[in-house]
């Protein structure tokens, strides 16, 4: 089997379909665990926004792991546009919830009032500005890649991913906003960089140069996600009993179980994949398959997290 030949780009980018399906499945699983209330439709838009933001930040960060593959500016622009649309949908759903009407009955004046007078709307405007700026910049950078900088994308993406967590329920606790922002950024970088690798890397050599570097970063990212998530969950619940008696607690337990599965999978990959890939003893096809499996599990966790974010 020839591993130096580049695989067709569409074949790799098609993995986004099962990733999105896994993320939506995570939302459905969280709804089942809640047992009460209806399906939180805003969670579907929220998880799409979170996943799109993670891929954007992952694509922009990928040159820091391996600068040989060209930055995929055109897909980055498309994903930023999807992120913008998903964030706008979240904003509309939040406005309808505040007003107390279905989304289809939300009036333009009510939506404008929400945007201009409430902090949630103003935060949403800032997020839309950041995501829109990324989409426009990436579209321009596609035509002039030699003068474009991925660092600007990283800055705007990090701000957009942090804005909503820092104004959530944890903002009322000491250092709660900081912990929530760190948790969101660490999770986005973890999923985003691995998914970006699966989408962009096409040869055995590219995986050999990139995967070991990602592996060294992934370990502390996992630790940060676990620690900040634990603190946030304990503070939010106020005890251990609500873990089983509340919908929020059950979703949190499911998220923790998925995290444990990811840790176990990461340990297994270090034993069977990372070292061999670094020594050029694993084909690009095998690396793509392993990375996709890992990302699918992460996507389920993102679906659970998106529902947690909108669960009272």
- When pLDDT is averaged across residues 112-117 and rounded to a whole number, the result is 90
Domain boundaries, the chain: 14-307
Of all helices (H) and strands (E), which one includes residue 3? none
Single out the residue of 288, 89, 144 nearest to residue 203, CA to CA: 288
The pLDDT assigned to 173 comes to: 59
DSSP state for residue 149 in the 8-state scheme: -
Q: What is the pLDDT of residues 120-133, one digit of tens each?
A: 889 999 999 999 99
CA distance 225 to 132: 27
CA distance 209 to 68: 9
Q: What is the pLDDT of residues 191-242, one digit of tens each?
A: 999 999 999 998 999 999 999 999 999 999 999 999 998 888 877 777 677 7
Q: What is the pLDDT of residues 28-72, one digit of tens each?
A: 999 898 876 666 788 999 999 999 999 999 999 999 898 887 788
Rounded to a whole number of angstroms, the CA Rg of the chain reads 20
Q: What percent of the chain has pLDDT over 70?
A: 92
- When pLDDT is averaged across residues 80-98 and rounded to a whole number, the result is 94
- When pLDDT is averaged across residues 74-86 and rounded to a whole number, the result is 95
Range 14-307: architecture per CATH = Up-down Bundle (1.20)
- When pLDDT is averaged across residues 139-144 and rounded to a whole number, the result is 89
The pLDDT assigned to 206 comes to: 94
Please name the residue ranges forming H helices in 66-175: 73-99, 108-117, 119-143, 150-166
Judged against a pLDDT cut of 60, whether residue 4 lies above it is answered with no
Q: What is the pTM of this model?
A: 0.90
User: Which range has the worst mean pLDDT, 187-196, 271-280, 303-312?
Assistant: 303-312
Q: Tokens 């800032």 map to which residue?
A: 126
The pLDDT assigned to 312 comes to: 58
The pLDDT assigned to 231 comes to: 84
- Which tokens belong to 13? 């980018």
The pLDDT assigned to 127 comes to: 95
C-alpha distances out from residue 113 to 90, 103, 119, 129, 219, Å: 16, 15, 11, 18, 44
- When pLDDT is averaged across residues 255-277 and rounded to a whole number, the result is 94
Q: Is residue 147 very low, low, confident or very high in pLDDT (cuts 50, 70, 90)?
A: confident
Please check whether residue 303 is in contact with residue 36, taking contact to mean a CB–CB distance below 8 angstroms.
no
Average pLDDT, the chain: 88
Buried b (16+ CB within 10 A) or exposed e, 2-39: ebeeeeeeeebeebbeebbebbbbbbebbbebbeeeee
The pLDDT assigned to 175 comes to: 63
The pLDDT assigned to 172 comes to: 56
The pLDDT assigned to 225 comes to: 94
- When pLDDT is averaged across residues 277-284 and rounded to a whole number, the result is 94
User: Which range has the worst mean pLDDT, 48-52, 152-156, 179-183?
Assistant: 179-183
Of all helices (H) and strands (E), which one includes residue 31? helix 16-34
CA distance 138 to 77: 5
Q: What are phi and psi of 213, to 5 degrees?
A: -65, -40
DSSP-assigned states of every residue in 245-301 = HSHHHHHHHHHHHHHHHHHHHHHHHIIIIIHHHHTT-S-HHHHHHHHHHHHHHHHHH
- Which tokens belong to 30? 């969280």
Q: Tokens 């251990």 map to which residue?
A: 240
CA distance 203 to 208: 9
Q: What is the pLDDT of residues 15-39, one digit of tens each?
A: 999 999 999 999 999 989 887 666 6
Q: Is residue 111 very low, low, confident or very high in pLDDT (cuts 50, 70, 90)?
A: very high
Counting other chains too, the contacts that 120-127 makes at CB distance below 8 Å and 24 or more residues apart are 120/94, 120/167, 121/91, 121/94, 121/95, 123/163, 123/164, 123/167, 124/87, 124/90, 124/91, 124/94, 126/159, 126/160, 126/163, 127/87, 127/91, 127/160, 127/163, 127/164
């Amino acid at each position: 089997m020839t591993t130096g030949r580049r695989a067709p780009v569409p074949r790799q980018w098609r993995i986004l379909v099962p990733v999105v399906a896994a993320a939506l499945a995570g939302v459905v699983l969280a709804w089942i665990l809640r047992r009460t209330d209806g399906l939180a439709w805003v969670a579907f838009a929220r998880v799409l926004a979170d996943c799109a933001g993670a891929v954007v930040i992952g694509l922009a960060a990928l040159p820091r792991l391996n600068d040989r593959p060209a930055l995929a500016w055109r897909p980055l622009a498309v994903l930023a546009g999807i992120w913008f649309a998903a964030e706008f949908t979240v904003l509309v759903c939040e406005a309808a919830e505040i007003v107390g009407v279905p989304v289809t009955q939300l009036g333009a004046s009510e939506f404008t009032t929400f945007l201009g007078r409430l902090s949630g709307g103003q935060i949403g405007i800032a997020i839309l500005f950041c995501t829109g700026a990324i989409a426009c910049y990436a579209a321009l950078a596609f035509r002039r890649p030699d003068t474009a900088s991925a660092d600007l994308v990283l800055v705007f993406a990090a701000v957009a991913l942090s804005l909503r967590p820092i104004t959530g329920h944890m903002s009322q606790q000491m250092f709660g906003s900081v912990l929530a922002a760190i948790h969101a950024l660490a999770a986005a970088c973890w999923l985003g960089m691995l998914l970006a690798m699966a989408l962009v890397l096409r040869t055995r050599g590219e995986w050999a140069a990139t995967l070991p570097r990602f592996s060294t970063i992934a370990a502390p990212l996992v630790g940060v996600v676990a620690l900040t998530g634990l603190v946030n969950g304990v503070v939010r619940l106020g005890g251990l009993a609500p873990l089983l008696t509340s919908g929020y607690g059950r979703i949190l337990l499911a998220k923790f179980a998925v995290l444990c599965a990811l840790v176990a999978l990461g340990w297994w990959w270090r034993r069977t994949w990372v070292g061999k890939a670094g020594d050029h003893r694993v084909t690009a096809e095998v690396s793509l398959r392993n990375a996709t499996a890992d990302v699918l599990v992460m996507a389920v966790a993102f679906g659970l997290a998106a529902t947690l974010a909108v669960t009272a």
